Homo-oligomer: A and B are copies of this chain.
Amino acid sequence: MFFHIDPADGLAIYDQVVRQVKFAVARGVLSPGELVPSVRELARELAINPNTVARAYQQLQTEKVLQSVRGMGLQVSADARSNCRKERQQLIASRIAQAIAEARQSGLTAEELQVIVEKQIATEYAK
């Protein structure tokens, strides 16, 4: 499966699921019309409680990323892809902006920060 939950992320688990579903739609791993894994199945795969998955899916429905097909499951909405693409940029950028704001506030110069960031990007994408 394309999800990975990190209990130490700081973000709530249901929120991690929400973000990752959006990312999967943005990437095209999930396509409009496609059924997402069932609540029970995803819960089993991620080793979390079905209610937690249900909560994430519910939020994704109110945000119109998913829509329910009675008795069949939940389906990616037709216009979800473009919305998720836009939102992905914003979600990532704001999280990075927060980290950068703290870095600056900590007294690091832009140059020192630049070094750290480049090293981290290199490390991450080398995996």
Contact = CB atoms under 8 A, between A and B. Distances in A.
Contacts of A10: 10-11, 98
Contacts of A97: 120, 123-124
Given A10-B98, A92-B116, A99-B99, A110 B105 contact: no
Q: Assembly of this chain: how many copies?
A: 4
A73 to B, nearest CB: 14
B121 A113 contact: yes
A101 B8 CA distance: 13
Given A98-B10, A121-B117, A92 B110 contact: no
A38 to B, nearest CB: 18
16 contacts: A6-B98, A10-B11, A20-B105, A20-B106, A23-B107, A29-B107, A92-B102, A92-B103, A92-B113, A95-B99, A96-B96, A96-B100, A97-B120, A100-B121, A100-B124, A117-B117
Interface of A: 4, 6-7, 9-11, 19-20, 23, 26-27, 29, 49, 62, 70-71, 88-89, 91-93, 95-108, 110, 113-114, 116-117, 119-121, 123-125
